[in-house]
Amino acid sequence: MPDLERVARIIRETAAAEILPRFRALASGDIREKRPGDLVTIADLEAERRLVQLLQGEAPGSVAVGEEGVASDPAQLALLAGDAPVWVIDPIDGTGNFAKGVARFAVIIAFVARGVTEAGWIYDPLGDVMMTARRGGGAWSEGRRLKVAGETHVSNLTGSAYGRTAAGVRASEALAGSGRIGAVQNRGCSGLEYMEVARGDANFTLHSRSLPWDHAAGMLIVAEAGGVGRFLDGSDYDPRIADRKPHAASTEVAWQAVAEIVTAHTA
């Protein structure tokens, strides 16, 4: 197992060297579309390159699955089904925000072995806030053990939601329009949204796809902070599955309430 603090230091140093100096300083040639509406910047590419090199040195025999590497070679996703431990890397989660100069982005790293997320890190570079978790060891931030929000009335639930219901309505609209929960606020950055749930500032986060670089670390961190995380269909979360809807919440009641509204919505 890699050392949590050494990895956290690598993440911080990479953000300081490759990401923060480029925030709100990107030239037009520093941004391109991987596919329509899906941006990548020079900061994503350089940060991932550095993270792959340094993190693999922390765990001899490990391999890396990075968002930008998979964009170039989708076959790399198959590494998650292999025997070697895998670093799952999102160099900048919230690239769309980053490219527009919006201050909502994060770095997400997970360490996965034989289909199990063993450790996770989410870093907010602008706030200089790091969250870490080791499976069975709790979730932590700056020396403080994290704990999700306790039970609250369903009408007070707040969180984020992406994707669409079976009727084709946006999940965020179905939840907000149900009249049953408090509020839905999407930040365009799953890392920050998982952080909010883990520290008790939000109650749920639901996403349309389970791409591992977006969710493996966050699902572990929320679970280790006392929350609930699995796919919307009720099956256990698995970082090797990239096409289901991951749903994390502070409590089982919150998880069930959001799932019920979204899955039952027909119009």
Q: For 110-127, write each residue's pLDDT tens digit.
A: 999 999 999 999 999 999
What is the predicted pLDDT for the residue at 247? 98
- Whole domain around residue 89: which residue ranges? 4-143
pLDDT at 266: 62
Question: Does 170 share its domain with 123?
Answer: no
Of 143, 168, 192, the domain-final residue: 143
pTM of the model: 0.96
How many Å apart are CA 82 and CA 175, to the nearest integer? 38
On whether the CB atoms of residues 146 and 121 are closer than 8 A, the answer is: no
Looking at residue 36, which CATH number applies to its domain? 3.30.540.10
Q: Is residue 149 part of a domain?
A: no
167 and 36 together in one domain: no
Return the pLDDT at 36. Answer: 86
The tally of domains found in the chain comes to: 2
110, 143, 176 — which closes off a domain?
143
Task: Specify whether 107 is located in the same domain as 24.
Answer: yes
**Does one domain contain both 125 and 177?**
no
Q: Phi then psi for 251, rounded to 5 degrees?
A: -140, 165
The enclosing domain of 235 has a CATH number of 3.40.190.80
In a shared domain, residues 104 and 126: yes
Under 8 Å between Cβ of 191 and 216: no
Answer for the pair 219, 237: CB distance below 8 angstroms, yes or no. yes
CA distance 30 to 155: 44
pLDDT of 8-59, one tens digit each?
A: 999 999 999 999 999 999 998 999 998 888 899 999 999 999 999 999 999 9
Residue 146: HSE in the Cβ half-sphere, 13 Å Cα cutoff? 31
Identity of residue 110: A
Q: Are 130 and 22 found together in one domain?
A: yes
**Residue 125: how many other CB atoms lie within 10 Å:** 22
Residues 13 and 75 in one domain: yes
In this structure, are 175 and 67 located in the same domain?
Answer: no
Does residue 115 share a domain with residue 239?
no
Q: What is the pLDDT of residue 2?
A: 95
Low-confidence ranges of the chain (pLDDT < 70): 266-267
pLDDT at 69: 96
242 falls within a domain: yes
Q: Which of 76, 109, 143 is the last residue of a domain?
A: 143
Q: How far apart are CA 65 and CA 159, in angstroms?
A: 28
**Whether residue 110 is found in the same domain as residue 208:** no
What is the pLDDT, as a whole number, of residue 35?
A: 82
- pLDDT in the model for residue 236: 97
